[in-house]
Structure formats: structure tokens, C-alpha cells
Amino acid sequence: MIIFGSPRRYLQGPGAIARLGEEIARIGKTAVLIADAHVLGLVSAPAAESCRTAGVTLSTITFGGEITHAEVERMASLCTRTPSEVVIAAGGGKTIDAAKFLSGKIGAKLATIPTVASNDSPTSHIIVVYDEHHKLVGVERLKANPDLVLVDTAIIAKAPAILLSAGIGDAIVKRFEVEQCVGVQGSNAFGGRSPQTALALARACYDTVRADSVAALAAVERGEPDQALERLVEASVLMSGLAFESGGLSVCHAMTRGLSAVPGPASALHGHQVAYGLLVQLVLEGRDAAFVEDIRGFFTEVELPLSLADLGFNGGPAEIATIAELTAQAPHMKHFARPVSAQDLVAAIEAVEAMASPTKDAAE
């Protein structure tokens, strides 16, 4: 059967954080705000004022910076001192995933406030867990998606452009992954088949990303939200999140298993990792040269990686073999039109690297 999941409520716009208190009051009277030290400086004052006005008691915990089992245990122990009905996650993907894990552990409801649009973690029930060295160690799942997603685009407009570029990368791949998953009748993140709604969202996400990314990046450079940024943020946070969870993933996200295991790419932003994965997937799909060049041209416009070197890679064949072997073992690889071996992946990576070489030669 088909299954579609989504957050309970989604709000987006400049100044949206002023609505936080009244929105939290719908689901609880006590809340704990989880954010790193930098983000607390951005949101703690308006969040506290909004919650005070709405009669919500708010406490704060400073996130340590890496989503590990130990960090979640530390925050959970702090929550025993001041029990909260709602966990509010403010920040990027790591903070949000850590707060998701925490909310499930203490049995609280969850609200997310992304301060960057670098990925679609704010809408999903998926939690990616790492170790202290940023190596992916597992994936956890909440029982449900967040109760509230609140996106203040005035805050996002002031974040570094490279983070929005990563969000573009994470969003653009969803069309191609969902199409593959639907094509093989694979399972989505809820264990069901992909509804046509998810496929439609993935394609609308792709169209929006292609139409609005350049202008949205310009808005971020100015530090002022505009309609292009509003549309792109909706695509990269909401459309992308709904599409991947209910539609399914494929090669692009499987590549994160391999890329996160080698020096250089392991430190790259998630959206840049999966964007490189799209180039590999397009080779595996046998897309024609004109289509691939169109995608590569767009990647150049929005500063997405065209090569492993763009992800910080300086290894050789042995490291490429490691990337391929770990990627081939990822569960998402079964969502592809044909079986793909580690050798197939090595060949596809080599093809992507060969395409990038003339570009680099010309630049030099």
C-alpha cells in the first residue's frame, strides 16, 4: 500500500519566529530550546519573548555540535531537571537531528526552526547519527514527523550562501531518486509504496530549484529575503522533505555512505555530497550527454561540486574503491532500475571525473 507522511504544521516567512510562542502553545506549555551557541545568539531572545507572551515556559540547552549517542544522552540528563512537553530544535541539520533524537528519548513533541536551508531535515522523522569523527554510524526514526516546522526566511537570508548551495544540492536530487524508487516499486521511508503525490512534489521541487536558485543565492548575498528565496526555501525544506520520505531515495543518497568514509568528502556538506552523487547516478542511468551537460552547467552556476576534488578529495584509486564498495552496500542502492556493483560505481565515478578534467584544464 502507499504511505504518505508529513509534519503536522508548516509556517514560513520573514519574521516567522515571532509566531513561535502561539504555535508551541497549541501543543504544550513547557518547552526546551536546543541550539548551538551561535544560533542561541540569533534566536533565544525572540523565542523567549514570543513564548513568554504566549504563556509557554522555555528553557535552553546548548548543543555540543555533533549528533552522537553520547551528546543525546547528555542533553537527556539535563532535561530530567526541567521536564518539557516540547523540544524545539533551532539550527542546521545536526542540531535538528540531535533534537529529534532527544524528543523521542524523552517522549516530547517536536518543533523545528531551521536557521539555514542546507537540507530537508526539519520536516522529516529520519535521524542520521554520527560518531565524534563525523563518520555515519546509523539511522534512527521518530514515531512521527515534527509537530511544527517554523521557517523564518529573514534569518535564513543572512546565513552563508554555501549553506543554501548545499540545500539546492539536497533538493535537486530528489526528482531523480524518487523516479528510480517509483520505477522499481521500492519502499519509502515509511515502509510503504511511493504515492504519486511524492513524485509530483519531487518534480515540482526540481522545477523550482532550477527556476529560482540563482536569484535566491543573490538574495542571500544581499541578506534580504525575496520571492525567489521564499520559493527556493519552500522547495529545499518542505517539498524536498516530503518527496524523499514518501517517495524514496536511490544512488545519490547511497553515495553518502562511501563519501563520508574518506578524507575530504567526509567533511563536505551533505547537500554537496548528494549533488556529486547525482552526477554518478546520471552516468549509471545512461543519460545523454546534453542532459548531463545541462545539469553540470547548473551546478557551476550554484557552486555545486563537479568532481571529487571539489569535495576536498585528494586520494587515489584505493579511496575511490572504498567509496564504491560502501555505496554499493547502502540500502538505497536497491532502488535502481538494475543491480549496481562496486565495479559499476567505480566506472561511473571515473566517468564523472573525466568530464570534470577538461573544465579544470580550461580554468587553468
Residues at the binding site for NAD(+) are 36, 93-97, 115-118, 124, 130
**Phi, psi at 337, each rounded to 5°:** -65, -20
Q: How far apart are CA 61 and CA 130, in angstroms?
A: 20
Annotated binding site for glycerol: 120, 170, 253, 270
| In 227-268, alpha helices (H) | 227-233, 240-247, 251-259
What CA–CA distance (Å, rounded) separates 193 from 305? 32
CA distance 87 to 238: 20
Half-sphere exposure of 193 (CA within 13 A, CB side): 8
b/e per residue 156-174 (b: at least 16 CB within 10 A): bbebeeebbbbbbbbbbbb
Distance of alpha carbon 237 from its chain centroid, rounded?
8
H-helix or E-strand containing 12?
A: strand 10-13
DSSP string, 276-325: HHHHHHHHHHT--HHHHHHHHHHHHHTT--SSSGGGT----HHHHHHHHH
Q: What are phi and psi of 90, to 5 degrees?
A: -120, 130
Positive or negative CA dihedral for 53, 54, 55, 59? negative
* Annotated binding-site members: 36, 93-97, 115-118, 120, 124, 130, 170, 253, 270
Contact 241/125 with Cβ under 8 angstroms? no
Helix (H) or strand (E) holding 86: strand 86-91
Q: Counting beta carbons within 10 angstroms of the beta carbon of residue 296, is it exposed (0 to 12), middle (13 to 18) or buried (19 or more)? A: middle
Count of beta carbons in the 10 Å neighbourhood of residue 301: 11
